């Protein structure tokens, strides 16, 4: 009979996510993970099979949380400009609060561009965000908040791309004024 697991795997994934966001996959060592997670290497391997397995769980959870966050923010039929502005400014504020805590999607897409499974996970998460944005923009257009000439799918692609650029600039310590100005410029796409 297998011994019951002596640690919370959800908490372990959360802690590992923070480490992967700060350092990336390659710079994060197994000793750093076991120290941060407060578990032995045997327990880590038993729960996740490998560092790769733990990273995959962390990335999956991060993607699910990101999509859920966008879904919650975009579900209401509030004015689309207000909603998108608040969403973008909240993301910028988060990056400004801790610029070393990078976006795991940006990190994964750049650091692990040659790893097909990671790339597919990132692509799927970004496609889900794009879909949520497109749906919200379609509803806004139906309410008359966007001109009929606007293509919601095209605007959603732009905003999805902009969000990733916003994260990069936040990590580059572009500063509040810069990020708020960039958000104002992005919102003009909705005019």
pLDDT of residue 129: 97
pLDDT at 23 over 80: yes
Q: Give phi and psi for 188, each to the nearest 5.
A: -65, -20
- pLDDT grade for 7, boundaries at 50, 70 and 90: confident
pLDDT of residue 77: 84
pLDDT at 61 over 60: yes
- pLDDT grade for 1, boundaries at 50, 70 and 90: very low
Catalogue all structural domains in the chain, each as residue range(s) with its CATH number. Answer: 62-190 (1.10.357.10)
Taking the C-alpha atoms of residue 54 and residue 61, their distance in angstroms, rounded to an integer, is 11
Q: What is the pTM of this model?
A: 0.90
Query: In this prediction, what percent of the chain has a pLDDT beyond 70?
Result: 97
Q: What average pLDDT does the structure give for the chain?
A: 93
- Going by C-beta distance under 8 Å and a sequence separation of 6 or more, which residues neighbour residue 20? 28, 55, 58, 59, 104, 107
Taking the C-alpha atoms of residue 167 and residue 173, their distance in angstroms, rounded to an integer, is 10
Q: In a 10 Å sphere around its CB, with 0-12 CB exposed, 13-18 middle and 19+ buried, how is residue 23 labelled?
A: middle
Kindly state the tokens that stand for 23.
């350092």
Taking the C-alpha atoms of residue 191 and residue 177, their distance in angstroms, rounded to an integer, is 22
The answer to whether the beta carbons of residues 81 and 146 sit under 8 Å apart is no
Please write the tens of the pLDDT for every residue from 102-161.
899 999 999 999 999 999 999 999 999 999 999 999 999 999 999 999 999 999 999 999
- pLDDT grade for 4, boundaries at 50, 70 and 90: very low
């Amino acid at each position: 009979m297998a011994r019951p697991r002596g640690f919370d795997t959800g908490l372990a994934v959360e802690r590992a996510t923070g480490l992967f966001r700060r350092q990336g996959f390659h710079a994060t060592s197994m000793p750093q993970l076991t120290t941060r997670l407060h578990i032995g290497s045997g327990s880590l391997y038993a729960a996740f099979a490998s560092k790769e397995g733990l990273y995959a769980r962390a990335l999956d959870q991060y993607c699910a949380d990101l999509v859920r966050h966008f879904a919650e923010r975009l579900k209401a039929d509030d004015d689309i400009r207000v909603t998108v502005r608040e969403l973008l400014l909240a993301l910028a504020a988060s990056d400004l609060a801790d610029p070393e805590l990078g976006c795991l999607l940006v990190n994964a897409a750049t650091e692990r561009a040659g790893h097909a499974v990671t790339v597919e996970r990132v692509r799927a998460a970004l496609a889900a965000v794009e879909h949520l944005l497109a749906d919200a923009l379609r509803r806004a257009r139906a309410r008359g908040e966007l001109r009929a000439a606007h293509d919601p799918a095209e605007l959603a692609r732009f905003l999805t791309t902009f969000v990733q650029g916003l994260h990069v600039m936040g990590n580059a310590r572009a500063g509040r004024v810069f990020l708020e100005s960039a958000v104002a410029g992005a919102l003009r796409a909705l005019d």
